[in-house]
Amino acid sequence: MQLTYRGQPYETSAPAIASAPSDETATFLGRPYVRRQFDVAQRQQPATLTYRGTRYVR
């Protein structure tokens, strides 16, 4: 996904989110629903970063 911050474009990607139904039920606004368990994959951080035009290594 192409984004812009203060005029500088950069690329980002949305993490993959997987969900599985659980055995729990809950109530919201008087209506029951089945809760789901979400597994979010960790995002890979870039090796070099830039802050105010200065590059540094994590």
Taking only the tens place, the pLDDT of each residue in 4-55 is 888 888 887 777 778 888 888 899 999 999 888 887 777 777 778 888 888 8
3-state secondary structure of 1: coil
Q: Compute the distance between CA of residue 51 and CA of residue 13 in angstroms, rounded to an integer.
A: 20
3-state secondary structure of 34: strand
pTM summary value: 0.36
Name the E strands within the chain. 2-5, 8-11, 17-28, 31-40, 48-51, 54-57
pLDDT at 28: 92
Domain extent listing, the chain: 2-42
pLDDT at 56: 84
